[in-house]
Amino acid sequence: MNNTVLVTGGAGYIGSHACKALAANGYNPVSYDNLCSGNKDHVRWGPLEIGDIRNQTRLTQVIKLYRPEAIMHFASLIRVGESVIKPSEYYDNNVFGTFCLLNVARKNDIRKMVFSSSAAVYGTPEADIIAEDHPLRPVNPYGHTKLAMENMIRDYAAAYNLDYAILRYFNAAGADMSGEIGTAYKVDTHIIPLLMRVASGDMKEIGIFGTDYPSPDGTAIRDYIHVQDLAEAHILALRHIGKRNARLTLNIGTSSGHSVQDVVDMARRITKRPIPTRSGPRRSGDPHRLVADAAQARKLLDWKPLYSDLQTIVSSAWQWQKKKTGLDATSEAIRYARAI
Ligand code: UFG
């Protein structure tokens, strides 16, 4: 074993945090990324090989060069709204891409995979807390592609001897606690990065998508998981499947829910900025509540989230936003002086 792990999407938000965690745990992460949404500056803990997962020739070349023992598969298009408008891109990149990756892995005898799935596979929740055996009825093309990718991995595992951990993330958020990396998206659509942009003066206000949900303050509830805790879950999953030849499908979340309004209030408290909001209609396809039952991950992997309280999540996102925008103490002082 050479401890090398091929990380597809290693230049992306979660992939780059996973590379840092892999290196800290004695692995050699090799990022394979087409840079369609990732950022090459976030690849710091191992080499970057630029390539597309649909390009089997290039993938084979990289695999023959590094001989990875396992794959962490993050490369994926992830925007729900976009998937409704451009389903063909989602099926091509996500489903066909995973098909190519599995075939190259199989031909090159790579028998371990950790896969980045999503709570989107559950669709509209039928329970307050969602366990892994909740019905799988995705409600948008993004969710359909994630479920198809999961099923493909399970079918290949059964027929071709592959050990896997499918991790269904709830709402990944926050940034590296030492401030080295953070969100890498070229276009932000997620609530916390958008709130940080408003706080830093990059946007005027944020729309609240729905204030008539059946929750105490009328806004939708999500289970926010710190990206560093999420990365750690990948390391534990990789070790687990290596030791036990296991095949796992696990939720990764905290089991506590926060409303959109809770997140806005926390962002105001941490950033000490007013953060104007505008109430708007519900966003199509948004469930009112998505909270994980993550007991299995805690039990099987001995996984314990350390940074996933809302205050730490938002503080780390704010630290990253300030670094990204050069909004350090001096420029903040200047900005305030100008505002007065
Ligand atoms: N929201 C707003 N305003 C915004 C952005 C988001 O009010 O400008 C709200 C959303 O409506 C939602 C909550 O904030 O209620 C969180 O939204 P995000 O866009 O941050 O995240 P999602 O819950 O939509 O997305 C997550 C994962 C996806 C997954 C999806 C399943 O990031 O990968 O859950 O529903 F597909």
| Nearby residues of 37 by Cβ (< 8 Å), 6 or more positions away | 12, 77, 184, 185, 186, 187
| Nearby residues of 267 by Cβ (< 8 Å), 6 or more positions away | 192, 195, 196, 199, 275, 314, 318
Helix (H) or strand (E) holding 112, with range, is: strand 112-118
Nearest CA to ligand 1 atom 14: 191
Position 81 scores a pLDDT of 86
Position 1 scores a pLDDT of 57
Position 17 scores a pLDDT of 98
Residue 190 alpha carbon to ligand 1 centre in Å: 6
Position 333 scores a pLDDT of 46
Residues with CB under 6 A from ligand 1: 78, 80, 118-120, 142, 171, 189-191, 194, 206-209, 220, 222, 260, 283, 286-287, 290
Position 284 scores a pLDDT of 84
Position 328 scores a pLDDT of 57
Structure tokens at 43: 């690849």
Q: Is 142 a catalytic residue?
A: yes
Residue ranges covered by each domain of the chain: 4-174+224-252
Q: Count Cα neighbours of 47 within 13 Å in the Cβ-side half-sphere.
A: 12
Position 67 scores a pLDDT of 98
Nearest to 148 by CA among 106, 115, 171, 105: 115
Q: H helices of 79-140, where?
A: 80-85, 87-90, 97-107
pLDDT per residue rounded down to tens, the chain (340 residues): 579 999 999 999 999 999 999 999 999 999 999 999 999 999 999 999 999 999 999 999 999 999 999 999 999 999 988 999 999 999 999 999 999 999 999 999 999 999 999 999 999 999 999 999 999 999 999 999 999 999 999 999 999 999 999 999 999 999 999 999 999 777 788 999 999 999 999 999 999 999 999 999 999 999 999 999 999 999 999 999 988 878 999 999 999 999 999 999 999 999 999 999 999 999 888 899 999 999 999 999 999 999 999 999 999 999 999 998 887 544 554 454 444 3
Pocket test of ligand 1: the residue of 142, 219, 222, 277 to mutate, having most ligand atoms within 8 Å of its CB, is 222
Cβ(29)–Cβ(53) under 8 Å? no
Which of 13, 32, 90, 142 is an active site residue?
142
Q: Which CATH superfamily is domain 4-174+224-252 in?
A: NAD(P)-binding Rossmann-like Domain (3.40.50.720)
Nearest CA to ligand 1 atom 16: 191
Position 334 scores a pLDDT of 46
